Structure 1
């Protein structure tokens, strides 16, 4: 209950901040609301999902912790741990990160990805799993994306965390199926930025999106064929220049 009360107070505070920051805020259209919901959807891996969901349910009502007890955690297989991490974040922090839908967000390519878990983030234990089992994560996400043709926001964030640059062809192929998930284009740009790909770092797109870290969370490119094709072309060239495993 303490956490719920704190969250409600935070929402009220943030709403005031947003109102003061942007007095011209507009009521989002149905298309914008629908796209925002689409952006925030996570992918729920099938590996031991029922078992993992029951374990998470046991800790949901705990006001003091959102962390699975070590004994239960160690009882999970490698794949079940992957499912646990992808659908549950253990670390709670009271941040004013959530933003109302940006008008016409369906027509924008944003600099940053949405948060998959609201005020929660992956804990040190979870990040250690990512580092220790990077190849497993790439394999399981590749398998899952190939099956569902969808890259949930949790997968996108995980790909950033493990620097999954070898997944670029899969990401592009998934995007090209319907050209709907513009956050895949965002992910491609983040991968190029994080890997310091010079042609991107010296581009007008980088300057507009990432040159100012304080405003980057609100920055975007207009979605059009030219920007779409340029991002994909740059990401493809970046990928083709990566050292390949022998």
Structure 2
């Protein structure tokens, strides 16, 4: 029995080595698996960062730590704060809860291919904010029903931190927060590095059917028949200025 186990383990090790070698060669032969540059990888990691609001943060984290997961359909499960504990939170504390915790989780076995030169692109869509997790219906309803307060809290947080996390961007897009456009532009102009802020401006114009944008070449490039979820514009000053000027015109027209 010991001998057969030894040979079995040796065979298993050899099989894994061959498989790993095959995968390496497959990745080298397939341009989709080309490794992104360090600058692109760093930008990708920054795109996925969320902002952690300060409102009742210690209390909210303690409540989240005590949540037990419950089963759902298939690979979906839920991590939901109980009604009594949830109702005990103030509105800003509920905002913190929703910004740092998604109540629905699902398993996804797909490994996305890396995006090359990600730092040199302006995308038409934001990345997923919680990876394999999503806000529940209760959470989405909170964001919409408390839209004005949510936008006010985001503005306050962004003006303080000078950052717009992915959770904030996704929320602004979801609640159609066009009123926050000046805050977004002001924050972007601090260093011109977070191109996903431009993506939010684009999404707000699209969401509101702003015709100068909807009939533009930019719209066709990002959302036309030949587009994909990863469609992008090249990052350059011309595209940057065009997006900002259109967003400002949209905001000023909507404000009137």
Give TM class, smaller chain: 0.7 to 0.9
- Map of 1:62 onto structure 2: 69
Q: Among residues 109, 114, 118, which one is paired with 2:127 in the alignment?
A: 114
Change beyond 3 A, Cα 1:56–1:97: farther
Q: Among residues 207, 216, 234, which one is paired with 2:228 in the alignment?
A: 216
Higher Cα Rg, which structure: 2
Q: Among residues 88, 94, 102, which one is paired with 2:101 in the alignment?
A: 88
Q: Residue 98 of structure 1 contacts residue 118 of structure 1 at CA under 8 Å; is this kept in 2? A: no
The answer to whether residue 31 in structure 2 is matched with residue 24 in structure 1 is yes
The answer to whether residue 195 in structure 2 is matched with residue 182 in structure 1 is yes
Q: Which runs of 4+ in 1 moved over 6 A?
A: none
- 2:211 & 2:48 partners in 1: Cα distance? 30
- 2:94 & 2:222 partners in 1: Cα distance? 34
**RMSD, matched Cα:** 2.0
- 1:77 & 1:159 partners in 2: Cα distance? 21
Change beyond 3 A, Cα 1:96–1:133: farther
Shift of 1:98: 6.5
Shift of 1:222: 0.4
- 1:115 & 1:196 partners in 2: Cα distance? 23
- 2:177 & 2:104 partners in 1: Cα distance? 23
- Map of 1:201 onto structure 2: 214
- Map of 2:166 onto structure 1: 153
Counting only pairs closer than 5 Å after superposition, residues 166-177 of structure 1 correspond to structure 2 as 166-177=179-190
User: Any idea what the Cα deviations from partners look like across 1:201-236, whole Å, max 9, x if unmatched?
Assistant: 0111100101248x4311000000100000001000
- 1:96 & 1:201 partners in 2: Cα distance? 35
Q: Residue 69 of structure 2 contacts residue 79 of structure 2 at CA under 8 Å; is this kept in 1? A: yes
User: Any idea what the Cα deviations from partners look like across 1:176-214, whole Å, max 9, x if unmatched?
Assistant: 00000000001100000010000000111100101248x
Shift of 1:92: 2.3
- 1:27 & 1:218 partners in 2: Cα distance? 17
- Map of 1:8 onto structure 2: none
- Map of 1:238 onto structure 2: 250
State TM-score, norm by structure 1: 0.86
- 2:173 & 2:246 partners in 1: Cα distance? 17
- Map of 1:9 onto structure 2: none
- Size of the aligned set, in residue pairs, is 224
The answer to whether residue 142 in structure 2 is matched with residue 134 in structure 1 is no
The answer to whether residue 56 in structure 2 is matched with residue 43 in structure 1 is no
More displaced 10-residue stretch of structure 1: 25-34 or 230-239: 25-34
Q: Which runs of 5+ in 2 are unaligned?
A: 1-22, 72-77
